[in-house]
Every structure is written in structure tokens, then in C-alpha cells.
């Protein structure tokens, strides 16, 4: 690591100057994992993840996409971006954990890692919010960047 990117020459907070960067196709995928108590997960599965509040997964997908689109308004010094695409996929893994993958893409001078991370985070929080009346033992286990392409350095988690 060399220096923090959001500091100017006087070590004050600053937005990163991307004016001299080239426009490239940029893409990032982030993952969030939730653990629900066994009884809650079984109840949701019986009802195809539908509650009186609506479909848990469908609502989380919409919330994740909406959040990714607003990342520049939520995170200080993050460039406001008009995403070209954003998807949120939700499924159960073999450990009966809910896995959320948010992928954002754009042709721009800056990357979309924060958009993907924000989308995955808010989708996870939406599932928590929709299920918290049934249990507060829901755990958002992790949120992490899985992959990014199109910038100076590509990244893929192994």
C-alpha cells in the first residue's frame, strides 16, 4: 500500500481526481452472507420466502439495486455514478446460509466496488429488516468484494 487515495497533498479529505483517467468498462461483484436461525429459515422456505410484508428476496433485490444507484449520496467522497447495470442474486448455499451477490458495471473513469458493496449490504439489511419480527438472532456474517475488473488493478478473491 502506498497512500490513502482520499487525501490531498495536505492530508485533508478530498475526492479522487479521475479527470486524467481513461474511460474503461468496469465491473465489480460483492458478496454478503446471512445466517438465519434454523426455525426461521425453515418457516421462510415453507412459504417460498414470502411474508405478509411481501417476498423477502424480491424486496431485497430491489433494495440492493436502489442502494447501489445511490452510493455516491451515501458514502462521502465517493463519485456519483450512473450505473450501466446492476444485478442482485440471492440463493441458499450448502450450509443453509443466504448468499447475496451484487454486481455493478459501468463504462467510466472510476470503479464500482463501492456500488457493489453497498448493494450487497443493503440487500442483507433488507432481509434482516423483513425478518426481525420473527427473530433478532439473524447474523450478517460478512460483506466482501469478490471481484473487480477494468481499472488499474483487477482483483479476484480466491
Supply the pLDDT for residue 7: 83
How far apart, in Å, are the Cα atoms of 40 and each of 51, 71, 114, 132?
12, 31, 31, 10
Mean pLDDT for the chain?
93
Q: Which residues are catalytic?
A: 129
Confidence band of 51 (pLDDT split at 50, 70, 90):
confident
- Asked whether the predicted pLDDT for residue 126 surpasses 90, the reply is yes
Size of the chain in residues: 158
Q: What's the pLDDT tens digit per position in 86-108?
A: 999 999 999 999 999 999 999 99
CATH architecture observed for domain 35-148: 2-Layer Sandwich (3.30)
- Asked whether the predicted pLDDT for residue 156 surpasses 60, the reply is yes
Question: How many CB atoms within 10 Å of residue 110?
Answer: 19
How far apart, in Å, are the Cα atoms of 86 and each of 60, 63, 91?
13, 12, 17
What order of strands is seen across the sheet that includes strand 98-108? 85-92, 98-108, 24-35, 139-149, 155-156
CA-CA distance, 79 to 90, in Å (whole number)?
27
All three cell numbers of 63, joined, read 433494495
All three cell numbers of 53, joined, read 410484508
- Asked whether the predicted pLDDT for residue 6 surpasses 90, the reply is no
The model carries a pTM of 0.92
Segments making up each domain of the chain, as ranges:
35-148
CA-CA distance, 79 to 18, in Å (whole number)?
9
Amino acid at each position: 500500500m502506498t497512500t490513502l487515495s482520499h487525501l490531498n497533498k495536505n492530508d485533508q479529505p478530498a475526492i479522487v481526481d479521475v479527470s486524467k483517467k481513461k474511460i474503461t468498462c468496469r465491473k465489480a461483484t460483492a458478496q454478503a452472507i446471512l445466517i438465519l436461525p434454523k426455525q426461521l429459515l425453515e418457516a421462510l422456505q415453507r412459504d417460498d420466502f414470502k411474508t405478509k410484508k411481501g417476498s423477502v428476496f424480491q424486496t431485497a433485490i430491489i433494495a440492493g439495486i436502489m442502494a447501489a444507484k445511490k452510493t455516491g449520496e451515501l458514502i462521502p467522497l465517493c463519485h456519483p455514478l450512473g450505473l450501466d447495470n446492476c444485478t442482485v442474486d440471492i440463493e441458499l448455499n450448502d450450509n443453509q446460509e443466504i448468499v447475496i451477490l451484487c454486481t455493478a458495471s459501468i463504462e467510466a473513469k472510476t470503479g464500482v466496488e463501492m456500488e457493489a458493496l453497498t448493494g450487497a449490504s443493503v440487500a442483507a439489511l433488507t432481509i434482516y429488516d423483513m425478518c426481525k419480527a420473527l427473530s433478532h438472532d439473524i447474523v450478517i456474517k460478512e460483506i466482501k468484494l469478490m471481484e473487480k475488473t477494468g481499472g488499474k488493478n483487477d482483483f479476484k478473491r480466491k
